[in-house]
Amino acid sequence: MKLQLPRKRITIPFVLMLVAGGVHLWREHQRALPEHWDGSYDLETVAVPAAGSGEGAGAGARPPAATPGPDWSHWRGPAGNGISPEKDWFSPWPPQGPKRFWKATLGAGYSSFALAGGRLYTMGNLAGRDVVYCLDAATGSALWKHSYPCGSDPSYPGPRATPTVDGDRVYTLSRKGHLFCLDAATGKLRWAREAVRDAGARLPQWDLGGSVLVAGRLLVLNVGSAGLALDKETGETVWSSGKGPSGYATPVPYELQGRQGVALFGFNRILGLDPADGKLLWEHPWSTGCDVNAADPIVTGDKVFFSSGYGTGCALVQFEPGPPRVLWKNQNLAEHFSSPILLDGCIYGFDGNAGSQGSLRCLDLATGELKWSHGGLVGSLVAADGKLLILSELGELLVVEASPAAYKELARAQLVGGQCFTVPLLSGARAYCRNTAGEVLCVSTRGE
């Protein structure tokens, strides 16, 4: 797939470098690229010159300012379950809402955030180009940017995946399947692939939605009928599955009796794979309207919980010992694409499609029983220290007690306008939030 821009393409087989006015383009040796790489991308990596404000100026060479919180280096945090180990992160806010530390505008999309070593990574789309941003998490200043041509959709614009940081590298995946391995400190290109094209797979109807999972030496992607794995050092394919379209969720790692597995929500089934070779371990059929399986499944022991929108509902399946069997199935929670959270035996998530009159709900995991439902609220959430931090799709930031007893709201404030489908990040008593248009805010979660 060749990517075209309405300006002259710069194409050099192996080396491209330009330095002028404090902006430089990268140079990469042939040995760092997979052998199929043809040099035809119009790529740009920019170290932003020093000077300016938190609206996007910074210095590519300097280290970021220190931030007090734990790293959140990939989609859904340290354990991949949306739960932060952070304690004492909340106290009541003043009437005007939480204190704002900085604001930036980064381009349209739904990409959430990865935080590692004081650097904040996310993605947006501007004028037909995806942009990977590395920001100083303390100030919002841009440290570097990496951009490339990528088509979008005016209805659901921009990238969906969240960057994944692993050591000194950051991995990003576009909605069309452009996979990049970049130096986490500088943005320098290590290697690149067109994951969907190279696997001979088809995109799902609304393009890719899942993020990159690092599983040991492998990168596992929800691409193709049953996943795709590449060597994280070189980008070379280790195993691939069928050519059909994928689901939209991120692969979820699990361990059972000392064996590693990955749960994958496909476009019409939930399945378990051996990450080493892609071998199918178990599967259960699960079809939904428009083949949208987008919320991450939750694996707990030998069971998997999953939920889909369009009125489909949810289920708990025991997958070992096989064959998989349904423990319960109901319509008490129909998650569109916001991923639920399991906390102390209860599932917390949003029932109803985005843009509809949905509700925040609490379910008993063991039985599927609805504990409570609070209407008029749809969004995304993370959990920490017995509380839920929620960004509603209308841009309100809420703190809610995570309890099966009843819905108890602790704080609410209007944070940003426009549509908000992106899950916030919590670290160091700071919340990092964005809307679809690309406005990013960093606010305090304490009343200071």
Residue 8's pLDDT is what? 35
Domains in the chain: ranges and CATH: 18-444 (2.130.10.10)
- Please name which of 75, 154, 136, 145 lies closest in space to residue 111, comparing C-alpha atoms: 75
Residue 67's pLDDT is what? 63
- Please name which of 387, 446, 375, 390 lies closest in space to residue 422, comparing C-alpha atoms: 390
- pTM to 2 decimal places: 0.88
Measure the CA–CA gap between 244 and 117, rounded to whole angstroms.
38
Confidence band for 44, pLDDT divided at 50, 70 and 90? confident
Q: List the strands of the sheet with 359-364, edge to edge.
A: 341-343, 346-351, 359-364, 370-375
- Please name which of 407, 404, 390, 402 lies closest in space to residue 445, comparing C-alpha atoms: 390
Q: What is the DSSP letter of 181?
A: E
Residue located via tokens 């921009």: 158
> What would the mean pLDDT of 370-398 be, rounded to a whole number?
97
Q: How far is CA 363 from CA 93, 307, 355, 369, 437, in A?
A: 29, 12, 22, 6, 33
48-58 pLDDT, tens digit each: 644 333 333 33
When mean pLDDT is compared across 32-41, 270-279, 280-289, the lowest value belongs to 32-41
> Going by C-beta distance under 8 Å and a sequence separation of 6 or more, which residues neighbour residue 214?
74, 164, 166, 171, 220, 232
> Going by C-beta distance under 8 Å and a sequence separation of 6 or more, which residues neighbour residue 129?
5, 147, 148, 149, 150
228-273 pLDDT, tens digit each: 999 999 999 999 998 999 999 999 999 999 999 999 999 999 999 9
> What would the mean pLDDT of 270-278 be, rounded to a whole number?
98
pLDDT above 50 (res 207): yes
Pairing status of strand 379-384 against strand 83-84 = parallel
Amino acid 111 reads: S
Contact, 161 vs 211, CB < 8 A? yes
